Structure 1
Amino acid sequence: MPEIKVLVEGGKASAAPPLGPALGPLGVNIGAIVAAINEKTKHFAGMQVPVRIIVDPSTKNFEIEVGSPPTTELIKKITGSKGAANPKAEQAGNLTMAQVIDVAKKKVKKMNFKQLKGMVLQVIGSCSSMGVRVEGKLASEFIKEVKAGAYDSLIEQNLK
């Protein structure tokens, strides 16, 4: 079955490229697909979201799978900043640990302590590359605290 993968702005997909030209040759109702994508991605407004469209060529039925936006997009939405040009010298925002955990929960597929803590560390790593601090500290310093277990109880509470 044909499969199309695109990156669209949440809630603002249109029949313009890249969707229209990719879907046109399949003979499907492009308007219906665009409407379904917009409905499924509206809560990601202002962010780029990966979308996968699977089309059954014989019935013209389609299935839409919406992925999670890239971690940096989720961080940008919270901070309102695109990140620092020089992350080592500039600060582009600050996240609380609760915000970091919220982003991690949107990214992790299986929800157990080990996976959530690992994703928290990845989110903090993304903060580091963007010049975003966590709890007012450099991300590199904060990673050490998380690895040492300073936030294990907070992470554990968020599994529920």
Structure 2
Amino acid sequence: MPTKTIKIVIEGGNAKPAPPLAPTLSQLKLNVGEVVKKINDATSQFKGMSVPVSIEIDTNTKKYNISVGIPTTTALLLKEAGASEPSGDTAHKKIGNIHFEGIIKVAIMKKPSMTSKSLKGAVKSLLGSAHAIGITVDGRDPKELVKEVDEGKFDEVLNKYEEKWNGGLE
């Protein structure tokens, strides 16, 4: 079965039946409106964020499969903090605050693309990212929390989410 794969990056829930997507889909004799609607439905949870999308098309049957990637760590942290862009001056300007459990939520979403073997390691990595873009966690500098994670002060909270982490996203 000959297949064609189209890879695009769109704003979550906001794909449009316009170039470059529309001409490519039309060329493959697919219903552009239907495909765009399915992409928007599949990416709606990532509204306002850039999301990688892959469309695999069987050129004989015209059947297709849409795979949605995961937005960048920065985009997820910014959304969680309700901010639009990184600080640029993290020492003097904080752009938002996230609860510790928000960091865990982002870690679980990013698990497929993270190299961390444990939830604790992923959380520490995301705390570093939050610090780098000017986000506080529970009103504190994320660097302080990394030390506390190492000391075991968040083990109880982390243990609540361990099953989700180990079980993946499904």
Q: TM (normalized to structure 2)?
A: 0.83
CA-CA distance at 1:114 after TM superposition: 4.4
What residue is the counterpart of 1:8 in the other structure? 10
Q: Secondary structure at the match of 1:2?
A: strand
Answering whether residue 155 of structure 2 is matched by residue 152 of structure 1, we say yes
Aligned with 2:118: secondary structure?
helix
Take 1:80 and 1:96, find their aligned partners in 2: how far apart are those partners? 12
Cα RMSD (Å) of the superposition?
A: 2.0
Contact (CA 8 Å) 1:108, 1:115: kept in 2 or not?
Answer: no
Aligned residue among 80, 97, 103 for 1:94: 97
For residues 96 and 130 of structure 1, the distance between their equivalents in structure 2, rounded to whole angstroms, comes to: 16
Counterpart of 1:55 in structure 2 is 57
| C-alpha separation in 2, matches of 1:4 and 1:30 | 13
Q: Residues 18 and 147 (structure 1 numbering): CA distance in 2 closer, same or farther, change over 3 Å?
A: farther
**1:97/1:23 CA distance change after superposition, 3 Å:** same
Q: Is 1:124 aligned to residue 131 of structure 2?
A: no
Query: How many matched pairs?
Result: 158
Alpha-carbon distance, 1:45 to partner? 1.7
Once the two structures are TM-superposed, the CA of residue 78 in structure 1 deviates from its matched residue by 2.0
Give the percent of matched residue pairs that are identical in Structure 1 and Structure 2.
38
Contact 1:9 1:49 in 2 (8 A): yes
Q: CA deviation at 1:86?
A: 1.1
